[in-house]
């Protein structure tokens, strides 16, 4: 153990912030042996109750005893709660812990319901996620989502019981009921009716904010006495976060089974020992030698993961993908709104000079005097970028990365290339120019690709007239490409599909794959960033020629791959295609 204690001391000294995760082993370490055992202290306080309920070995088991009436149950509860509020721990383990960590930012996440941490640390620094004996909730939380302070009830009950000989009977009028619904109240601790209301969410939010704040620094996940019974509350999230955050470390102190995940083994310190003894040992060592071991810190503990490997991990573990694509992706596909290059001049040649156009965007926005001229521009663009489209290697790579998983593509690009490449789960935020409509909303949309090709061909031979323009098959009105309509409509079915994908993966490590979306893109980038903030399991992979800054709180789960989009997407697709053992 000596070596591990030394390592723990160094990790503590070297960390920028500490997130404590504590379970029942912490209470046990502090000598609070009355929770699960008929210990002397328990018998001293609950002897009469234990005599009547010999199955209730310890106060926690007493909570689940087979009571003969609500009056008996509440007499016990009042005494149990009063005991929890006032009984001091046997050892000062909590104080030792406080001395060890208080010189840097820390937060405490605990499944313990005894509020013992709250005696030593400020409420803002504690997240109590399995309830708290200081509160009562309604027995019907679906109609009453308030928490009630238990202490006034307990105080009144204790005052009554102090006068009685039989201390296992509380009269009806002292049994707490909800002031709003009149229904019985019950302690706010994990149960099938456990209320996950405002306070519960706030408790989780405190931890989330702490991780967001320190996730990209040397954050230490410090687990104390967490059992294997409920690993989903502390242990597994700690393992996952340590794995995701390249600078993070993980410490597990547990007398039974201090274990870690193989993925983070090199960044774990495991101490098979009583929490109290281990904390005291490291405190002693720290006071003797407050400087970190030179040898330990000579090399950085964690080689920072390459963004490509990070991205690969995120993409591989994702059960679904949300792909966003904008101008940068179009450029890789050959279309650029802002280019004023040979392609632009070749395509619109005569019109460029006639109307003084500088780029494609100006060409579509210019207020031409007639529909015919307007359509000469549209037809050339549609014909060039969409009428003859063949699936590009970029699209093939994207398909390989999707690997048959559920996906949605959210794009501002007008060329309709995703759909033309057979990737048809697409929300086109600005519609597209491949389909046209008249002004009557329910008239069918018309595929314009053939018409555009025809017009470009005709233009070589003669001047176009109104008669050459594509028309609505229902009313005969000249069509407008959807994206140039006064109010481009989103495809409601596609939007519903995207929402469904988001909802179905709200708690899973969905990967957002951003392909060439500009730094300030308000239509796609901002909403996706806000989804990422909302869904803390999601990861974010950014491919961009010149990536902008990543919002601070998303950085721990963001991988940015800078450079040529085509090259980088191809590389990711290659890596994804390899069997995982080869890496
Ligand atoms: Zn029509």
Same domain, 248 and 233: yes
Largest CA distance in the chain: 111
Q: Say if residues 240 and 38 touch (Cβ distance below 8 Å).
A: no
Rounded average pLDDT over 37-43: 95
Query: How many A from CA of 477 to the centre of ligand 1?
Result: 6
Tokens of 359: 């780029």
Rounded average pLDDT over 289-317: 64
Same domain, 457 and 498: no
Q: Into how many domains does the chain fold? A: 4
Using alpha carbons, select from 127, 130, 123, 94 the residue that is nearest to residue 109: 127
Same domain, 172 and 297: no
Q: Which pLDDT belongs to residue 45? A: 96
Query: How many A from CA of 446 to the centre of ligand 1?
Result: 10
Q: Is the dihedral of CA 518, 522, 524, 525 positive or negative?
A: positive
**Tens-digit pLDDT profile for residues 357-407:** 999 999 998 999 899 999 999 999 999 999 999 999 999 999 999 999 999
Question: What CATH number did the domain enclosing 365 receive?
Answer: 3.30.1600
Same domain, 159 and 275: no
Query: How many A from CA of 479 to the centre of ligand 1?
Result: 8
Query: How many A from CA of 443 to the centre of ligand 1?
Result: 5
Query: How many A from CA of 412 to the centre of ligand 1?
Result: 26
Q: Which pLDDT belongs to residue 296? A: 36
The answer to whether residue 546 scores a pLDDT higher than 80 is yes
Query: How many A from CA of 445 to the centre of ligand 1?
Result: 9
Quote the ipTM score. 0.97
Question: What CATH number did the domain enclosing 288 receive?
Answer: 3.40.50.1220
The string of DSSP letters for 97-134 reads HHHHHTTS-EEEEE---S--HHHHS-GGGEEE-SEEEE
Task: Quote the crossing angle between the two packed helices 371-382 and 449-461, to the nearest 10°.
Answer: 110
Query: How many A from CA of 487 to the centre of ligand 1?
Result: 16
Query: How many A from CA of 374 to the centre of ligand 1?
Result: 19
Q: Between these two residues, 516 and 556, which has the higher pLDDT value? A: 516
CA geometry: angle 563, 566, 570, nearest 5 deg: 105
List the alpha helices (DSSP H) in 215-370. 235-244, 275-288, 294-297, 307-317, 327-332, 342-355, 360-365
Q: Which pLDDT belongs to residue 2? A: 64
| β-pair partners for 249 | 220
Query: How many A from CA of 365 to the centre of ligand 1?
Result: 23
Query: How many A from CA of 481 to the centre of ligand 1?
Result: 13
Same domain, 579 and 534: yes
- Which one of 154, 189, 224 terminates a domain? 189
The answer to whether residue 583 scores a pLDDT higher than 60 is no
Query: How many A from CA of 438 to the centre of ligand 1?
Result: 5
290 band by pLDDT with thresholds 50, 70 and 90:
low
Alpha carbons 96 and 90: distance in angstroms, whole number: 13
**Tens-digit pLDDT profile for residues 226-243:** 987 778 889 989 999 999
Same domain, 215 and 324: no
Query: How many A from CA of 377 to the centre of ligand 1?
Result: 22
Alpha carbon separation from 185 to 15, 128, 176, 462 (Å, rounded): 43, 20, 6, 86
Same domain, 258 and 292: yes
- Which one of 156, 189, 222 terminates a domain? 189
The answer to whether residue 566 scores a pLDDT higher than 50 is yes
- Which one of 472, 489, 506 terminates a domain? 489
Same domain, 346 and 484: yes
Query: How many A from CA of 2 to the centre of ligand 1?
Result: 82
Query: How many A from CA of 485 to the centre of ligand 1?
Result: 13
Query: How many A from CA of 475 to the centre of ligand 1?
Result: 4
The answer to whether residue 479 scores a pLDDT higher than 80 is yes
Query: How many A from CA of 462 to the centre of ligand 1?
Result: 28
Q: Say if residues 415 and 327 touch (Cβ distance below 8 Å).
A: no
Same domain, 43 and 82: yes
Same domain, 212 and 233: yes
Alpha carbons 423 and 436: distance in angstroms, whole number: 21
Same domain, 255 and 278: yes
Q: Between these two residues, 419 and 295, which has the higher pLDDT value? A: 419
Same domain, 70 and 180: yes
From first CA to last CA, the distance across the chain in angstroms is 34
Query: In the chain, what percentage of residues exceed pLDDT 90?
Result: 73
The range of the structural domain enclosing residue 138 comes to 33-88+132-189
The answer to whether residue 301 scores a pLDDT higher than 80 is no
Query: How many A from CA of 369 to the centre of ligand 1?
Result: 22
**Tens-digit pLDDT profile for residues 136-148:** 999 888 888 899 9
Query: How many A from CA of 480 to the centre of ligand 1?
Result: 11
């Amino acid at each position: 153990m000596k070596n591990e204690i030394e390592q723990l001391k160094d990790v503590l000294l070297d960390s920028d912030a500490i997130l404590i995760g504590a379970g029942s082993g912490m209470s046990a370490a502090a000598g609070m042996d009355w929770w699960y055992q008929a210990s002397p202290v328990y018998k001293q306080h609950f002897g009469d109750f234990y005599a009547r309920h010999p199955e209730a070995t310890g106060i926690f088991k007493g909570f689940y005893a087979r009571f003969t009436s609500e009056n008996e149950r509440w007499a016990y509860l009042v005494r149990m709660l009063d005991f929890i509020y006032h009984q001091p721990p046997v050892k000062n383990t909590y104080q030792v812990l406080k001395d060890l960590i208080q010189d840097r930012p820390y937060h405490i996440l605990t499944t313990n319901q005894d509020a013992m941490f709250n005696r030593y640390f400020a409420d803002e620094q504690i997240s109590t996620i399995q309830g708290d004996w200081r509160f009562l909730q309604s027995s019907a939380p679906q109609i009453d989502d308030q928490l009630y302070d238990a202490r006034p009830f307990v105080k009144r009950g204790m005052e009554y019981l102090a006068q009685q000989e039989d201390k296992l009977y509380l009269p009806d009028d002292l049994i707490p009921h909800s002031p709003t619904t009149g229904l019985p109240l019950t302690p706010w601790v994990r149960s099938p009716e456990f209320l996950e209301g405002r306070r519960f969410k706030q408790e989780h939010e405190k931890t989330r904010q702490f991780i967001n704040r320190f996730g990209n620094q040397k954050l230490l996940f410090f687990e104390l006495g967490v059992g294997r019974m409920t690993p989903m509350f502390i242990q597994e999230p700690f393992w996952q976060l340590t794995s995701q955050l390249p600078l993070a470390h993980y410490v597990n102190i547990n007398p039974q089974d201090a274990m870690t995940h193989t993925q983070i083994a090199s960044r774990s310190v495991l101490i098979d020992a009583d929490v109290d003894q281990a904390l005291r040992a490291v405190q002693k060592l720290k006071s003797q030698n407050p400087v970190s071991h030179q040898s330990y810190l000579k090399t950085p503990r964690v080689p920072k993961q390459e963004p490509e490997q990070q991205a690969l991990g995120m993409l591989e573990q994702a059960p679904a993908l949300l792909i966003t694509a904008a101008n940068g992706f179009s450029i890789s596909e050959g279309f650029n709104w802002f280019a004023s290059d040979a392609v632009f001049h070749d395509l619109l040649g005569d019109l460029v000079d006639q109307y003084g156009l500088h780029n494609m965007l100006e060409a579509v926005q210019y207020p031409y005097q007639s529909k015919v001229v307007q359509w000469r521009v549209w037809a050339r663009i549609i014909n060039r970028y969409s009428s003859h489209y063949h699936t590009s290697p970029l699209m093939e790579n994207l398909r390989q990365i999707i690997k048959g998983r559920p996906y949605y593509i959210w794009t501002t690009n007008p060329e309709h290339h995703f759909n033309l490449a057979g990737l048809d789960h697409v929300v086109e935020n600005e519609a597209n120019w491949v389909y046209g409509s008249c002004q009557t909303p329910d008239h069918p949309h018309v595929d314009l690709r053939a018409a555009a090709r025809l017009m470009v061909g005709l233009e070589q031979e003669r001047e176009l007239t109104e008669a050459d323009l594509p028309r609505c098959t229902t009313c005969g009105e000249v069509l407008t490409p959807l994206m140039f309509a006064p109010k481009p409509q989103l495809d409601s079915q596609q939007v519903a599909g995207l929402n469904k994908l988001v909802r179905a993966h709200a708690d899973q490590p969905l990967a957002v794959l951003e392909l060439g979306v500009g730094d300030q893109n308000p239509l796609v980038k901002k909403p996706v960033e806000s989804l990422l903030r909302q869904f803390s399991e999601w990861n974010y992979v950014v491919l961009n020629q010149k990536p902008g800054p990543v919002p601070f709180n998303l950085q721990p789960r963001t991988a940015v791959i800078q450079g040529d989009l085509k090259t980088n997407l191809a590389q990711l697709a290659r890596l994804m295609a390899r069997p995982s053992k080869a890496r």
